[in-house]
Amino acid sequence: RKEVEQDPGPFNVPEGATVAFNCTYSNSASQSFFWYRQDCRKEPKLLMSVYSSGNEDGRFTAQLNRASQYISLLIRDSKLSDSATYLCVGGISGGYNKLIFGAGTRLAVHP
Amino acid sequence: NAGVMQNPRHLVRRRGQEARLRCSPMKGHSHVYWYRQLPEEGLKFMVYLQKENIIDESGMPKERFSAEFPKEGPSILRIQQVVRGDSAAYFCASSPLSGANVLTFGAGSRLTVL
């Protein structure tokens, strides 16, 4: 079983739609969580950190449920520029932060 | 701030040759991580280094792969006797502190083995 599992998609949505991505993790040692965004053939870039209390950054909302080992990302009012692969990431802290990446969920926003 | 610099961006090797990938961390960063991304897959941790020390190499294949981060100069990921399965994007990331939550990634080096 993969340590971080995501639905690979693709999610094809029209502009303006709301889309939600889910992710589960199996390693209870994971202490910090993130969503990264990766454009085609580019490096991953941090989108946002994920907290148990939930956090929002503009159109993006992330949520962590430690009991269920479940992480979510909600994107409201999708833009064409949101088209990318979204990577769910768990960090295992043990003196340093070792990031474990999911395989990613692909989002395609169309006009 | 030039960010994390990786070179070469693209490298083509024939089976059996050696590949050397270089990574210069962001200014002020002394912690370097290497990740590998196979086509249509997520990034897989390979190795974590500090200056002159390998801290965690649990993700490195047992043979043919090695990494270093010397006192002076970039970090080097070396792959000897490459095989087709080594074809991938190799990303380097750096952080200023060992416990830093955020890693800054370089643009990656794409290795193609013919």
Nearest to A77 by CA among A102, A59, A94: A59
Q: Which residue has the higher pLDDT, A11 or A91?
A: A11
B100 in A contact zone (CB under 8 Å): yes
Instruction: Report d(CA B52, CA B50) in Å as an integer.
Output: 6
| Tens-place pLDDT, residues A29-52 | 777 889 999 999 899 999 998 988
| Tens-place pLDDT, residues B7-39 | 999 999 999 999 999 999 998 888 899 999 998
Q: Which residue has the higher pLDDT, B18 or A68?
A: B18
Nearest to A75 by CA among A24, A37, A31: A37
Q: Cβ B98–A95 below 8 Å, yes or no? A: yes
Q: How many percent of chain A have pLDDT more than 90? A: 63
Q: Which residues of A touch B35 (CB under 8 A)?
A: 101
pLDDT given at position B16: 97
Among B45, B55, B101, select the one facing A32 at the smallest CB separation. B101
pLDDT reading at A16 higher than 60: yes
pLDDT-based confidence at residue A94 (cuts at 50, 70, 90)? low
Tokens of A71: 């992480």
Q: Cβ B45–A100 below 8 Å, yes or no? A: yes
- The number of C-beta contacts closer than 8 angstroms across A and B is 56
Tokens of A7: 């639905």
